Structure 1
Amino acid sequence: MPLPEALFSAQQINIPPELPDILKQFTKAAIKTQPCDVLQWAAGYFSALSKGEPLPVKERIEMPSAVEETDTSLTPGFLQVLHQQLSPKGTVSVTELKEKWRNLCLPDEQLEVILQLDDFGEEVEWMKFLALGCSTLGESLLNSVKIACKILTTEPGPAAPITFETFSFLYSYLANIDGEIAEEEREAFLHRIKEQADQQSGMVLLRNFLTQPSVLF
């Protein structure tokens, strides 16, 4: 009985010319993002790649502190990835948010805690979720707004400028959730910030509010 012909030969195996670059970019993305579950994250990565959607990739490696060394919870870098993926839609379904969240290997219970901070239904206004996500990362209202500015700015750097309208929304929303600052004080604070923003083409810089009375944060 004659031996069967080889199933594959060098001529039969077709390697797409773009495959090496795809694998190279995937490897670099995994190194920058450092997912705790590479398989789960890879599924989200290639799903987004096939659909032409923003990839679940951090801009740079986040160096954890000694306390966070084994932590797999939300970080500013992960929140920025979610912002890149979901902010263009304005309002997102909880189902899609959960999918993107799990693709980053983040704990479901932390997402539930954030969602319970407001009366969300099946749809989530992204900017509100971003603000609440920042509030879980910052130890104070000041730190929460600082994190949001660094995520939202289009000019990375120490100034982290964002529009006054965006700053006003974030601050007012988080201050209302917090409930510790009187409305008159909030309005007076925002008035001072707007005066400074008007001198910066309507942009709020980090240093604009770092010098404000700490009671407002």
Structure 2
Amino acid sequence: MPLPDTIYCAQQINIPPQLPDILKSFTKAAIRTQPKDLVLWSAAYFSALSKGECLPVKDRLEMNVATPERDTGLTPGLLTILHKQLSAGQTCSKEELQKKWKGLCLPMDQLETLLLLGGFGSEIDWMEFFALCCNALGGTLLSSLKFACEILTEDEEGGAARIPFNTFVKLYTYLAHLDGDMMQDHIDNYLSSLQAQVNKQNGMIQVSNFYISRK
């Protein structure tokens, strides 16, 4: 005796009317994001879609910034996705970070290196981890901060890339301490030197307004 759900002809297959739009959006997202592992990324995409979460999709197609000497797999576009997915609170769990990182097909050994470098436990200060990721992209303190501003800004692309000064202070201070070569007095003096510019911009700072000195 056949099972009740046995399909005998194509007319018995019920295709939800919204399916073509879902597949069309998925295809566009895959082309824009260019995941290294389409199957792994697709699982993350549809899991997020079913839960109403932020999708692992880049805002636009981008060129990989990796070089032969510095290939982490991470790009500004992928870090932007992670920030959207995990920055709702001040912290995120290590388990959730691992899940989102894997869903973007990023190398797990790189994640473990970053977690070890930051000395993180089961709960992770998101902005500190974000700063480490910017450092992985930039390699220098100045480049890292520029990446951070460009990702965090609410200005339109190509604009001033402004961010709140208190956010800049947190990122700069964390990375400067991580660098290990800067004294606290130098850090404080540098931040004080920016204050006049910040006051003129209502508590904001933009990429063109800062430089990094080690003296």
TM-score where L is the length of structure 1: 0.90
Hey, what's the Cα distance between the residues in 2 that align with 1:56 and 1:154?
19
Hey, what's the Cα distance between the residues in 1 that align with 2:141 and 2:17?
50
Specify the alignment match of 1:3 in structure 2. Answer: none
Specify the alignment match of 2:111 in structure 1. Answer: 111
Amino acid at match of 1:60: R
Asked whether the 8 Å contact 2:64–2:75 carries over to 1, the reply is no
Does the alignment pair 1:53 with 2:56?
no
Specify the alignment match of 1:16 in structure 2. Answer: 16
1:1-217 superposed matches below 5 A: 7-64=7-64, 67=67, 73-156=73-156, 157-209=158-210, 212=211, 214-215=213-214
Change (3 A) 1:57 1:15: same
- SS of 1:17 mapped into structure 2: coil
Deviation string, structure 1 residues 97-135 (Cα, Å, up to 9, x no partner): 001000111111100111111221111011110001111
Deviation string, structure 1 residues 20-77 (Cα, Å, up to 9, x no partner): 1100010010001100100000000000000000000011111136846xx6711111
Hey, what's the Cα distance between the residues in 2 that align with 1:122 and 1:79?
20
Change (3 A) 1:213 1:22: closer
Hey, what's the Cα distance between the residues in 1 that align with 2:135 and 2:90?
19
Change (3 A) 1:67 1:185: closer
Deviation of residue 10 (structure 1)?
A: 4.7
Unaligned segments of structure 2, at least 5 residues = 1-5
Hey, what's the Cα distance between the residues in 2 that align with 1:142 and 1:186?
14
Structure 1 vs Structure 2 CA RMSD: 1.8
- SS of 2:117 mapped into structure 1: coil
- SS of 2:112 mapped into structure 1: helix
Asked whether the 8 Å contact 1:36–1:72 carries over to 2, the reply is no
Asked whether the 8 Å contact 1:75–1:137 carries over to 2, the reply is yes
TM-score where L is the length of structure 2: 0.90
Tell me how many residue pairs correspond in the alignment. 207
The range that moved more, 192-201 or 26-35, is 192-201
Hey, what's the Cα distance between the residues in 2 that align with 1:66 and 1:54?
25
Hey, what's the Cα distance between the residues in 2 that align with 1:105 and 1:213?
33
Hey, what's the Cα distance between the residues in 2 that align with 1:11 and 1:108?
45
- SS of 2:118 mapped into structure 1: coil
Amino acid at match of 1:178: D
- SS of 2:88 mapped into structure 1: helix
